[in-house]
């Protein structure tokens, strides 16, 4: 009788040990998955990846459209399109397009940029950075992982559309 009681007690503690170990393993596995998702590079779907801006026909010639998800403005000129990063090249403030002024106007220290990002005034040392654009079957895709700095706007910064 006494031997049987010991066996039962041992079995229960083994079960608890296995359950405890299993629970811990599950917690560590979940933490590892969360960590991997956190450090995985962003490849699509948000800023830092490839962003779908819209159909090229949706963007009128001589218009500026803000693409919130990509933190850029899609500027369409008569020559094509350019995706301008909203980050001011002075100290990094978000620069809005001011329709009434017909220019980008940084609210922080007053830098001004034209429709292709060239500096018109203020302390900004260079034009707004731009992102590569690919137009596939009329869809405009912008790769926000690669901002390009430039000393001055050049015609080749425009993607033909």
Query: Would you say 90 or 157 has its CB closer to ligand FES?
Result: 90
Using the contact rule CB under 6 A, the part of the chain among 42-50, 60-68, 84-92, 134-142 near ligand FES is 84-92
Q: Based on C-alpha coordinates, what's the Rg of the chain?
A: 27
Strand 139-143 relative to strand 50-55, pairing: antiparallel
Q: How far apart are alpha carbons 64 and 82 in whole angstroms?
A: 10
d(CA 93, CA 127): 14
Site for ligand FES in 86-145 (CB under 6 A): 88, 90-93, 106, 108-111, 122-124
How far apart are CB 132 and ligand FES at their closest, in Å? Answer: 24
User: Would you count residue 84 as binding ligand FES (CB under 6 A)?
Assistant: no
Which of 43, 102, 93 lies closest to 75 in space, CA to CA? 102
The distance of closest approach from Cβ of residue 113 to ligand FES in the complex, given in angstroms and rounded to an integer, is 9
- Residues in contact with ligand FES by CB under 6 A are 88, 90-93, 106, 108-111, 122-124
């Amino acid at each position: 009788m006494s031997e049987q009681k010991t066996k039962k007690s041992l079995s229960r503690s083994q079960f608890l040990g296995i359950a405890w170990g299993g629970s811990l393993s599950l917690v560590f596995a979940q933490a590892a998955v969360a960590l991997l998702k956190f450090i995985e590079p962003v490849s699509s779907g948000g800023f830092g990846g490839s962003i779908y801006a819209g159909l090229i026909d949706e963007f009128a010639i001589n218009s500026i459209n803000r693409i919130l998800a990509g933190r850029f403005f899609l500027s369409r000129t008569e020559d094509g399109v350019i995706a301008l990063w909203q980050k001011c090249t002075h100290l990094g403030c978000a620069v809005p397009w001011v329709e009434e002024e017909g220019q980008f106007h940084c609210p922080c220290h007053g830098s001004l940029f034209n429709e292709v990002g060239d500096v018109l005034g203020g302390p900004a040392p260079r034009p707004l950075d731009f992102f590569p654009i690919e137009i596939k079957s009329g869809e405009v895709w912008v790769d926000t992982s690669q901002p390009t700095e430039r000393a001055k706007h050049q015609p080749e910064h425009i993607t033909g559309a």
